[in-house]
Copies of this chain bind each other. A is one copy, B any other.
Amino acid sequence: MAGTMKQVVLAAYAQGNPKSSDFRLEEVPVPQAGEGQILLRTLWLALDPLIRFSLDEKLISGARHMQIGEPMFGPTVSEVVASNHPDYAVGDIVETRTGWYEYAAVDPETVDYRGPPRKLDPELAPVQTALGALGMPGQTAYAGIVDTARVQAGETVVISAAAGTVGSLAGQIAKILGARVVGIAGGPEKCAALLDLGFDASVDYKADDFEAQLDAALPEGADVYFDNVGGDVTLAVMERLNRGARMAVCGFTAYYGDGMEGPGPNKLPGFFRLINSRQLEIKGFAGIMAGPEPIEAIAGWMKAGRITFPEVVVEGLEAAPEAFSSVFSGNSFVGKLLVKVAEAG
């Protein structure tokens, strides 16, 4: 395939929260599929918050380290437009990890550490759900609520970043298990949307009376906390956890820019005090642990109308930097933030 394509590269390492100026749009030649490779045309791009770990000048965790000028990586749904590989035919729609670019020539065996590109059935569900409810975020929500937090009917479950992809699914799964579910999100729009999704209560962490809202939503405290954020929101929830409560740590967006240390005071003493005096159980987990069963369970619940998966779509690759940055600065989106890069076919 001749011609040029758009791609987004890293222009500067992130200082604290990423900004759209940390990225740069470029025009480059469309790659060719080499021997054994397939050429993918990006249809959908998911702006995964975990990418933040790769944007520090000095790498802190075991994440992949981006170089300045390198095209951004990310989860994608793509169409096979050329194939030199027996397992893939032109027209196949696949979910894998390429990046913030319009075309990618990849080796199916090595493109994604999770395995070869997963072929999707467009008749079963809209293909972009493979980046959300029927993909990694769905697996993560299921792993946290079912396997890690072991939510039981009648328990009270609190979910932070509840309007996010994982949070909104986690809350709905907890409801299906018979729990009372309280979601924390930023702003009245998101809080109202959570009630529409079936949450029993929602609390606005940006409101002046956040702690009073939390008290009102938790008259008997909480038994489970599904945490995506860390920071002051988490410390406020922890003070309302019941003895023996479980806390599933899915993410900690409040600290993604901090490395190992943030500005004082040191909040770790209070954290230890709560762990010990409340006999809390705190577990970190990752969706990858859960295997394929969660996807089947969630697909069934979606078909039965018990899970709604809201999407917010921004159009065009050039919108990715601004949309990605908004994840950290507190946007007003509810559900999965997707970039629609192209139409299939």
User: Could you tell me which A residues sit within 8 Å of B by CB distance?
Assistant: 60-62, 230, 249-252, 255, 258-286, 289
Contact = CB atoms under 8 A, between A and B. Distances in A.
A60 to B, nearest CB: 7
A249 B266 contact: no
Given A260-B270, A270-B259, A281-B281, A249 B265 contact: no
A18 to B, nearest CB: 17
Nearest to A230: B272
Contact of A277 (B259, B274, B279, B284): B284
7 residue pairs, one from A and one from B, having the closest CB atoms: A264-B264, A260-B270, A255-B269, A258-B269, A276-B284, A252-B272, A275-B284
21 contacts: A230-B268, A249-B275, A250-B276, A251-B276, A255-B272, A258-B266, A259-B269, A260-B273, A261-B269, A262-B266, A263-B264, A265-B266, A266-B268, A268-B268, A274-B284, A275-B283, A275-B284, A276-B286, A277-B284, A280-B282, A280-B284
Contacts of A249: 272, 275-276
Given A60-B273, A260-B273, A273-B255, A278 B284 contact: yes
A262 B265 CA distance: 6
Contact of A260 (B250, B269, B285): B269
Given A61-B273, A273-B61, A273-B252, A279 B284 contact: yes
Nearest to A257: B269
Given A278-B284, A283-B280, A269 B230 contact: yes
Contacts of A277: 61-62, 284
Contacts of A230: 268-269, 272
Contacts of A255: 268-269, 272-273
A174 to B, nearest CB: 20
A54 to B, nearest CB: 13
A283 B281 contact: yes
A61 B283 CA distance: 23
Contacts of A282: 275, 280-283
A261 B262 CA distance: 13
Contacts of A265: 261-264, 266
A262 B272 CA distance: 12
A124 to B, nearest CB: 31
